[in-house]
Structure 1
Amino acid sequence: MTRHPSSATATDFRQHESVAVTVERFQRLFNTLSAGRVTGLAEVYSEQVRFVDPFSSVEGLEELQAYLDKVYTNVTACRFEFDDTLVSGDQACIEWTMHLQHPRLRRGRELAVHGISRLTIAEGRVRYHRDYFDAGELLYENLPLLGSAVRLVRSFAS
């Protein structure tokens, strides 16, 4: 008997449900993180997690904890709007908009950064997390002096 791509077994549904539950925990986690309050990572991430974003790559839960502690150190406020989520097997891709306030970016005014997180989930925990976003939109365009130069270069390219 040949299985058609559209046919699904009970195991497929359980895996999809497990991934969906983990994605929900992931989304809740990122809307609770703040300066001095980077907690709850072990409830979402595997001990062997690999995390990659445009600025860093870390291995393991301890390194991820240290990295996020550092990233959130001077953050005034941060919240995420999560949009479409695509799930296939143990993989999930989540579109998001991050609303961030940092005293050194845009003179402390809120900025919005669009991105996507790609997750691989095993045993109800995120084992691989890669964020894709424009580093210029987050950082370079919003720094004094450098921001003006980056925006000028972008205007020539468009």
Structure 2
Amino acid sequence: MTFLRTVTLSALTLFSLVSCKSIPSYSADYDRANKQISGIILNDEQAQLVGQHFVAAFNTMGTADFVKNAGQLYADHLYINDTLSQFSTKKELVKHFEGMNEHVSNVSVKLISATHTHDSAYIHWHMVYDFKMLGRMKTMSSYGISQIKINDEGLIIFQQDYWDPANGLYRSLPYVGNAYSLILPLKKNS
């Protein structure tokens, strides 16, 4: 057990150092995109429709229809940051969806609420899914909010997701979860 902890801690330390290279902060990218990309001004009904379309497409994740359904939501050029990845074209995003789709099944996404401010819809959602990694299947559950702007064709041109990947994903993964418990021992892991 001590050996495993040492190896895990060493790997995480090395990963942290490698990850510290000069990468621009996503906060600067978000700030720039949020100022430069304007969507249509929304009302309550439109924000609700954005949420319903978003949830309907992501409820097909893990099926043959997902990539087509989700791809139909997005414009060719966009800003999207899903907390783990950032994309500026639909082509890149669809490739990401194809890879993601291979690892998930039994997806259930529920729309909790949809609100708006000017041109941004804030979609509050809850997602439960089975995730396959390293030959093991694990049920994951996560709450999040997506800030979404749409163009006059109803396509997403801006999306910033806010969710906690530490508790919504990483802590539940084989080996990675153990590493997190070493780094963040004070946070409850259930």
Same fold (TM over 0.5): yes
Q: Which runs of 4+ in 1 moved over 6 A?
A: none
Within 5 Å, give how 1:53-92 maps onto structure 2: 53-92=82-121
Q: Do the aligned residues in 1 keep the contact of 2:43 with 2:116 (CA within 8 Å)?
A: no
Q: Do the aligned residues in 1 keep the contact of 2:42 with 2:117 (CA within 8 Å)?
A: no
Distance 1:35 1:43, change over 3 A: closer
Q: 1:142 aligns with which of 161, 172, 183?
A: 172
1:88-122, Cα deviation, whole Å (9 max, x unpaired) = 222111111110101228x4232211111110112
Instruction: Give the AA of the match of 2:120.
Output: Q
Q: When the two structures are aligned, how many residues end up with a matched partner?
A: 147
Within 5 Å, give how 1:1-158 maps onto structure 2: 16-37=44-65, 38-104=67-133, 107-123=136-152, 124-157=154-187
Residue aligned with 1:66, SS: helix
Which ranges of structure 1 fall in alignment gaps of 5 or more residues? Answer: 1-11
Distance 1:15 1:144, change over 3 A: closer
Residue aligned with 1:103, SS: strand
Which ranges of structure 2 fall in alignment gaps of 5 or more residues? Answer: 1-39
Q: CA RMSD in A?
A: 2.6
Q: Using the alignment, how far apart are the partners of 1:70 and 1:89 within structure 2?
A: 34
Which piece of structure 1 moves more, 88-97 or 35-44?
35-44
Residue aligned with 1:40, SS: helix
What TM-score does the superposition give when structure 2 sets the normalisation length? 0.66
Instruction: Name the % identity.
Output: 23
1:98-149, Cα deviation, whole Å (9 max, x unpaired) = 10101228x4232211111110112111110111111112332112233123
Q: Do the aligned residues in 1 keep the contact of 2:106 with 2:129 (CA within 8 Å)?
A: yes
